Amino acid sequence: MTKTAERSIGSIVWEYVKLFGSALLIALVIKTSLVEAYNIPSGSMENTLMTGDFILGNKFIYGAKIPVLPIKLPAFSDPEPGDIVIFKFPLNPDQNYIKRCIAGPGQIVEIRNKRVYVDNELIDDPEFSKHTDRRVRDRGSFDSSRDNYGPFRVPDGHYFMMGDNRDNSYDSRFWGCVPRENILGSAMIVHFSWAQDENAPEISLSHPLSIFESIAYNLGHFHERVRWGRIGDIVN
Active-site amino acid positions: 44, 99
How many CA atoms, within 13 angstroms, populate the side-chain half-sphere of residue 103? 28
Q: Residue 77, Cα to own-chain centre: how many angstroms? A: 18
Per-state percent for the chain, helix, strand, coil, to nearest 5: 25, 30, 45
d(CA 14, CA 219): 40
Q: What sign does the CA torsion over 46, 48, 51, 57 have?
A: negative
- Sheet strands side by side (includes 115-118): 121-122, 115-118, 108-112, 149-153
- Rounded Cα distance between 143 and 122, Å, is 22
CA distance 165 to 47: 7
Helix (H) or strand (E) holding 215: helix 209-220
